[in-house]
Amino acid sequence: MTKSSLKDCTGLHVVAQTPFRADGALDLDSIDTLSAFYYGHGARGLTVLGVSGEQGKLTPDECIATAARFIAAANGHRIIVGVSSPSLAQLVTVTQHVMAEGADAVMICPPRGTQTDDDLMRYFDEVFARIGNTPTVLQDFPVHSGVKMSPSLIRRLVEAFPQIGVIKEEDLPSITKITKLREELGTNVRILTGNNGLYLPQELARGADGPMAGFSFPEMLSGVDDLMRNGDREGAHDLFDRYLPLLRYEAQGEWGIAIRKEVMRQRGAMECAALRAPGPVLTALDRAEIRSMIDRMGLEFKFDNRSAA
Amino acid sequence: MTKSSLKDCTGLHVVAQTPFRADGALDLDSIDTLSAFYYGHGARGLTVLGVSGEQGKLTPDECIATAARFIAAANGHRIIVGVSSPSLAQLVTVTQHVMAEGADAVMICPPRGTQTDDDLMRYFDEVFARIGNTPTVLQDFPVHSGVKMSPSLIRRLVEAFPQIGVIKEEDLPSITKITKLREELGTNVRILTGNNGLYLPQELARGADGPMAGFSFPEMLSGVDDLMRNGDREGAHDLFDRYLPLLRYEAQGEWGIAIRKEVMRQRGAMECAALRAPGPVLTALDRAEIRSMIDRMGLEFKFDNRSAA
Amino acid sequence: MTKSSLKDCTGLHVVAQTPFRADGALDLDSIDTLSAFYYGHGARGLTVLGVSGEQGKLTPDECIATAARFIAAANGHRIIVGVSSPSLAQLVTVTQHVMAEGADAVMICPPRGTQTDDDLMRYFDEVFARIGNTPTVLQDFPVHSGVKMSPSLIRRLVEAFPQIGVIKEEDLPSITKITKLREELGTNVRILTGNNGLYLPQELARGADGPMAGFSFPEMLSGVDDLMRNGDREGAHDLFDRYLPLLRYEAQGEWGIAIRKEVMRQRGAMECAALRAPGPVLTALDRAEIRSMIDRMGLEFKFDNRSAA
Amino acid sequence: MTKSSLKDCTGLHVVAQTPFRADGALDLDSIDTLSAFYYGHGARGLTVLGVSGEQGKLTPDECIATAARFIAAANGHRIIVGVSSPSLAQLVTVTQHVMAEGADAVMICPPRGTQTDDDLMRYFDEVFARIGNTPTVLQDFPVHSGVKMSPSLIRRLVEAFPQIGVIKEEDLPSITKITKLREELGTNVRILTGNNGLYLPQELARGADGPMAGFSFPEMLSGVDDLMRNGDREGAHDLFDRYLPLLRYEAQGEWGIAIRKEVMRQRGAMECAALRAPGPVLTALDRAEIRSMIDRMGLEFKFDNRSAA
């Protein structure tokens, strides 16, 4: 893998959870298990410190330490680090540190309030004046950021800033936006999808290059992607539909992340399922609900770390 | 049915589409077919002029005409009319007219910017000073309205304003909020759910009294509700899961409404699937995608209006 | 005055208050007195049903009735009617009615959520497909609307839609935006200013064509405009500074409107100072504060309607 | 001065600018000059790293370094450090460091999205569980934060968390909110005001304990406060009105901060007027406008650092 390039950035890139201890401290050791879990289930790379990686709850120092540990455990896989911040200085500092640690790329979502096409161009002018040639994933996620980017503006950005090699597309309906982006951008840029994978088969059919999402059964995400790539559309849908009840259940914002971490803990991916406070805490009722859903699905549950790549 | 009461407001209340002609004019005639479609698939009542009923695109006169036609076609079913507006005068005028026409209740979501508990109490003070004893559904839908209401505030509202007989709960995760609301409110108030029914089995298990949502196959919504009511949880989940791929596909904001209307048109529920402009317009690709999904599901598709109740 | 043109739309256009009775009913009769007050203090025209005209609290019927009465009392002055609405149908209906009544132009601020340059172009495509050649004031007021428009986008709009003859510019800092707009637009378009006139001398010096604002002493707004037009910059500043303590006091959102209406009532401009509820209600302390400010300023207070044009 | 207490926190507390070099690096050396400038013009203390201190553009390390330098230059004056952050971990880390450096208190504005009374109580539960007895200024600034707090909620907060010794009140109209807060809170809590001091005389008359604001002529802010304290209301208004044209000119958001820094640079308060990029950059026209305003006001301009306390 050419570290400096996002040209071949296709296939599953899991948006990784960040593991914490019960007291809220970072659990760096679990990153090794977690990485093995992701790679053992088909991830070609990881996006660490995304929204569902609880990036917003960390200090910059913690961000750098977390990314460094994922990089150390990458074992040849691509590591993309979320560095979005209302503070450009913080974005730049974290970028410099994680690239120095060996990250492959950063992911940036423009900050709330960047609201006209010209303001967006200027924002990335400022960004790239500071981070230079750093390979970059542009995150299009208006529900979270409040920033809307039209397909024509995204083309302007991609043309002005060749550092942008991937669009993480999660502006709803992502399905139709991917169609429009493919018309605007051709195939020079990779488009990966988000939104917890909830529209994955259709997104892939419309030209996406793979999922960049999180799910407690990443083998579904990679499996659907492989099947679609091999032209087995029916097989892809069958696989997707089998997991859909749980996928939909996890797609409930921060509370869904709590669910996802709990399932992943039960699967052996990490020690402790806690989100860093303040955040949702699962009740006995929630846990019973999870258990009932898993049982219904009849899924192969336990992950054996020893079998991971 | 006691017109003046929401006490027995349980079971499926479909959030109804508003039918338009291709040129954007109201298609009042289709309201009769549409009503038959809903009632023929298990709706005990309708909520007309909700968000997905495109209320925000109508003038007050059009709102009144639309509601009046649904009321005329109600055939003993309950009609709840969405009257939310940034203008209190408009809310009051429409309420007075539709109640005079024979509506059973109105639904109100507090307007954007009503942001503290005290402001919310004051807002409903002003509302009920003007609409008196009108039975009211309180809509809790922060993703759309920007207004957050805590369980304790909802209890204050329910205690202060006995007109509020139903909470339409769609603050995500609605699942846990329903649990909290049941703890706060007991069983004196009905809780119906929204969010396109995407979490319906869990919501019912946690104490909701039925769905208040839209879907192109309302027989699934009523069917799941009936099965849960009869204690057949597995059956309910089986039914729900069968439709989930399409349910999820329709849950894509205004574009999802365009999908829903197209499916419903194909099922014979109305003449024309157009949303009032400005709004999404389906492409050939979109239509093919819908067709492929319906085919996969192997659903009984066509609705025979003659068999409707 | 050519009714159909905004080319000569310069000088003071007061953003008019809407008079209500104590019970919240429209006080249409006071519109005659109020119009005389405005024209007697230098207004060349009025913008009725703007934000501070409490447009958002009226029904469309009330909007039309209010505009009609201002038009009847116009006496050769220009009447611009605010028609902004989240509902395009409502915007169109009110536009058609008020233009039929004899309004000179409408004012439109794009609705919340219209967030990319392309979306803004599309929005006005939809608008002008419906209201045709109606002369239009484009309101640029992001603090209120949440919509940001860059100078280059405003040029695109002005070039695509010659109906737009005036920009009401109140994006802070309006001072520098006026400079940029003049560079983009040349002098083909009129630029009037808002923000309660709080930056009027600087705005005029940078190329604005006059104020479109409200103040309880409109003679200051017209006076500053006249002095600047005649090249007496020092005189303009002296006049402005004399009224500034009160001007600043009135520039406090909706509460400032309550102040303004109370001062105008005391000056004989209308019968009752009430805002339509829900809205702020002045206390004895507030009234004493106003009185003390007026006394300090030593202003000629009473307006003699008989001397009005 | 008792370091641990905010009980006597009255009088002018300037919201301090953060000085940068032209290249955007922190200019820590200018903090000494700047501190002398503030104290020489009547400041009893400083609030560093507020919104207009460009806190949002710094990394946590830079925040700590900046605060430490202000603390080193405090010379017995009170130093309050703005620590608000969407990241609670960052808030806590910065709080611990600056309190260890010798800060007197921190200032906290709840983060965007904290929207119900219960959520606000929970947020501060989480905060004070981590920062313990740290004396705290609660910032009520909804225009910036999007968070609204009612007077009754502020009382709940003050009663639950005795660490809150000061309310920085800038919810418009701050005038009437101060009246309501005094009714709710009595005189147990200090209320300082913000909004660039634009409503200072009225705010003090209604019970505020002093300004916590920035202005390029802080001697006006301290002077008005002293005169009001001594019962010379007319004198206070006279002094205030004299500076009002410039005060209003500086009250233009981030661009106003650029103006303020330029005037302060000309007065000798710091080396370089630059804001950290991205941010507004003054043009020749802007500078001429400033000059003209200063000339009109006939102000004593130059600050002699040697005379500072």
Q: Could you give the domains of chain A? A: 6-215 (3.20.20.70)
CA distance A289 to A278: 23
pLDDT of A181 reads: 98
Task: Using a CB–CB cutoff of 8 Å, tell me whether C152 touches chain A.
Answer: yes
pLDDT of C188 reads: 85
Q: pLDDT confidence of C300, banded at 50, 70, 90?
A: low
- Which residues in A lie closer than 8 A to residue D276 (C-beta atoms)? 89
Identify which of D176, D241, D255 has the shortest CB distance to residue C176.
D255
CA distance B51 to B175: 21
CB contact under 8 A, C89 and B123: no
DSSP B110-153: --TT--SHHHHHHHHHHHHHHHTT--EEEEE-HHHH-----HHH
Task: Using a CB–CB cutoff of 8 Å, tell me whether C208 touches chain D.
Answer: no
Reported in sequence order, the residue ranges of C25-183 that DSSP labels E, i.e. its strands, are: 45-48, 78-82, 105-108, 136-140, 164-169
Task: Using a CB–CB cutoff of 8 Å, tell me whether C162 touches chain D.
Answer: no
CB contact under 8 A, B249 and A280: no
Task: Using a CB–CB cutoff of 8 Å, tell me whether D119 touches chain B.
Answer: yes
Task: Map D209-255 to HEC letters.
Answer: CEECCCCCCHHHHHHHHHHHHCCCHHHHHHHHHHHHHHHHHHCCHHH
Residue D42 confidence (pLDDT) above 80: yes
Q: Is the torsion defined by CA of A195, A200, A204, A210 positive or negative?
A: positive
D279-309 pLDDT, tens per residue? 999 999 999 999 999 899 887 666 555 444 3
Decide: C278 and B88 in contact? Cβ < 8 Å.
Answer: yes
CA distance D256 to D213: 13
Q: Please list the ranges in chain B whose pLDDT falls under 50.
A: 1-3, 306-309
- Which residues in B lie closer than 8 A to residue C278 (C-beta atoms)? 88, 122-123, 126
Q: pTM for the full model?
A: 0.95
Binding-site residue set of D for pyruvate:
212
Decide: A273 and A298 in contact? Cβ < 8 Å.
Answer: no
Encoded tokens for C65: 């009735």
CB contact under 8 A, B148 and D118: no
CA distance B248 to B266: 19
Identify which of B116, B142, B152 has the shortest CB distance to residue D153.
B116
SS3 for C85? Answer: coil
Identify which of B116, B150, B153 has the shortest CB distance to residue D148.
B116
CB contact under 8 A, B118 and D148: no
- pLDDT, chain D, mean: 94
CA distance C173 to C128: 29
CB contact under 8 A, D245 and C244: yes
- Which residues in D lie closer than 8 A to residue A56 (C-beta atoms)? 86-87
CB contact under 8 A, D245 and C248: no
pLDDT of D290 reads: 94
SS3 for B64? Answer: helix
Which of B90, B116, B121, B145 to substitute to test the interface with C, most C CBs within 10 Å? Answer: B90
Distances (CA, A) of D215 to C287, D41, D285: 29, 11, 21
Which residue from D minimizes the CA distance to A277?
A: D126
SS3 for B164? Answer: strand
In angstroms, the separation between the Cα of residue B150 and the nearest Cα of chain D is: 6
Kindly give, in sequence order, each residue whose CB lies less than 8 Å from that of residue B272, ignoring residues fewer than 6 positions away.
B19, B20, B21, B22, B27, B30, B265
CB contact under 8 A, C153 and A117: yes
Which residue from D minimizes the CA distance to C281?
A: D176
The count of CB pairs under 8 A between chains C and D is 66
Instruction: Kindly state the average pLDDT of the residues D40-61.
Output: 97
Identify which of D176, D241, D245 has the shortest CB distance to residue C255.
D176
Identify which of D206, D241, D249 has the shortest CB distance to residue C245.
D241
Which of B59, B93, B281 to substitute to test the interface with C, most C CBs within 10 Å? Answer: B59
Identify which of D205, D244, D253 has the shortest CB distance to residue C173.
D253
Q: pLDDT confidence of A304, banded at 50, 70, 90?
A: low
pLDDT of C307 reads: 45
Which of D54, D87, D88, D126 to substitute to test the interface with A, most A CBs within 10 Å? Answer: D87
Kindly give, in sequence order, each residue whose CB lies less than 8 Å from that of residue A213, ignoring residues fewer than 6 positions away.
A14, A15, A193, A194, A195, A196, A197, A200, A221
- Which residues in C lie closer than 8 A to residue A115 (C-beta atoms)? 115, 142, 148
Distances (CA, A) of B84 to B137, B190, C211: 11, 20, 35
Alpha helix positions (H), chain B:
30-40, 60-72, 88-101, 117-131, 142-145, 151-160, 174-185, 200-205, 218-229, 233-250, 253-266, 284-297
Q: Which of D143, D276, D140, D296 is nearest to C172 (CA)?
A: D143
Task: Using a CB–CB cutoff of 8 Å, tell me whether D4 touches chain A.
Answer: no
Decide: C58 and C70 in contact? Cβ < 8 Å.
Answer: no
Q: pLDDT confidence of A299, banded at 50, 70, 90?
A: confident
* 3-state percent helix, strand, coil for chain D, nearest multiple of 5: 50, 10, 40
D248: Cα within 13 Å, side-chain hemisphere:
27
How many other CB atoms are found less than 10 A from the CB of residue B25? Answer: 10
Establish whether the linkage from the previous residue to C278 is cis, with ω within 30° of 0. yes
Query: What ipTM score was computed for the predicted complex, to two decimals?
Result: 0.94
CA distance A135 to A83: 12
pLDDT of D304 reads: 54
Task: Using a CB–CB cutoff of 8 Å, tell me whether C150 touches chain A.
Answer: yes
Identify which of A122, A123, A278 has the shortest CB distance to residue D126.
A278
The order of strands in the sheet holding A13-15 is A13-15, A45-48, A78-82, A105-108, A136-140, A164-169, A190-193, A210-211
Identify which of D179, D253, D289 has the shortest CB distance to residue C285.
D179
CB contact under 8 A, C123 and B89: no
Establish whether the linkage from the previous residue to B173 is cis, with ω within 30° of 0. yes
Distances (CA, A) of A60 to A28, A70, A97, D18, D262: 15, 15, 10, 21, 32
In DSSP terms, C15 is beta-bridged to C47
CB contact under 8 A, D175 and C289: yes
A34-79 pLDDT, tens per residue? 999 999 999 999 999 999 999 999 999 999 999 999 999 999 999 9
Single-letter residue type at A45? G
CA distance A71 to A31: 10
CA distance D199 to D187: 21
Longest Cα–Cα distance of chain D, Å, equals 53
CA distance B45 to A108: 47
- Which residues in A lie closer than 8 A to residue B256 (C-beta atoms)? 173
CA distance A122 to B158: 49
Encoded tokens for A191: 């488009």
C220-265 pLDDT, tens per residue? 999 999 999 999 999 999 999 999 999 999 999 999 999 999 999 9
SS3 for A81? Answer: strand
In angstroms, the separation between the Cα of residue D61 and the nearest Cα of chain A is: 9
CA distance A82 to D24: 24
**By CB neighbour count within 10 A (0-12 exposed, 13-18 middle, 19+ buried), where does D54 fall?**
buried
pLDDT of B298 reads: 82
DSSP D79-118: EEEE---S-HHHHHHHHHHHHHHT-SEEEE---TT--SHH
Single-letter residue type at A31? I
DSSP A130-178: HHTT--EEEEE-HHHH-----HHHHHHHHHH-TTEEEEEE-SSSHHHHH
More confident residue, C28 or A4: C28
CA distance B34 to B260: 13
Kindly give, in sequence order, each residue whose CB lies less than 8 Å from that of residue B306, ignoring residues fewer than 6 positions away.
none
In angstroms, the separation between the Cα of residue D192 and the nearest Cα of chain A is: 27
Establish whether the linkage from the previous residue to B151 is cis, with ω within 30° of 0. no
Q: Is the torsion defined by CA of D70, D71, D74, D78 positive or negative?
A: positive
Which of D203, D206, D246, D248 to substitute to test the interface with C, most C CBs within 10 Å? Answer: D248
Burial code (b: 16+ CB inside 10 Å, e: under 16) for C242-267 equals bbbbbbbbbbbbebbbbbbbbbbbbb
Kindly give, in sequence order, each residue whose CB lies less than 8 Å from that of residue B213, ignoring residues fewer than 6 positions away.
B14, B15, B193, B194, B195, B196, B197, B200, B221
Task: Using a CB–CB cutoff of 8 Å, tell me whether A60 touches chain D.
Answer: yes
* Radius of gyration from C-alpha coordinates of chain C: 18
How many other CB atoms are found less than 10 A from the CB of residue D113? Answer: 12
Identify which of D244, D249, D289 has the shortest CB distance to residue C245.
D244
In DSSP terms, B78 is beta-bridged to B45
In angstroms, the separation between the Cα of residue C48 and the nearest Cα of chain A is: 29
How many other CB atoms are found less than 10 A from the CB of residue A75? Answer: 10
A173-222 pLDDT, tens per residue? 999 999 999 999 998 899 999 999 999 999 999 999 999 999 999 999 99
C186-205 pLDDT, tens per residue? 988 999 999 999 999 999 99
Which of A143, A172, A174, A176 to substitute to test the interface with B, most B CBs within 10 Å? Answer: A176
CA distance D111 to D95: 16
Kindly give, in sequence order, each residue whose CB lies less than 8 Å from that of residue B54, ignoring residues fewer than 6 positions away.
B17, B18, B20, B257, B275, B276, B279
Task: Using a CB–CB cutoff of 8 Å, tell me whether D122 touches chain B.
Answer: no
D73-115 pLDDT, tens per residue? 999 999 999 999 999 999 999 999 999 999 999 999 999 999 9
Which residue from C minimizes the CA distance to B54?
A: C87
DSSP secondary structure code for residue C305 in this structure? G
Q: Which chains touch B (3 or more CB pairs under 8 A)?
A: A, C, D
- Which residues in C lie closer than 8 A to residue D176 (C-beta atoms)? 255, 280, 283, 286
Task: Using a CB–CB cutoff of 8 Å, tell me whether B184 touches chain D.
Answer: no
Residue D2 confidence (pLDDT) above 50: no
Q: Which of A2, A83, A85 is nearest to A45 (CA)?
A: A2
In angstroms, the separation between the Cα of residue A91 and the nearest Cα of chain D is: 9
Give the pairing type, strands A136-140 and A164-169: parallel
Identify which of C116, C149, C152 has the shortest CB distance to residue A148.
C116
In angstroms, the separation between the Cα of residue A97 and the nearest Cα of chain B is: 36
pLDDT of D108 reads: 98
φ, ψ dihedrals at D191, nearest 5°: -120, 115
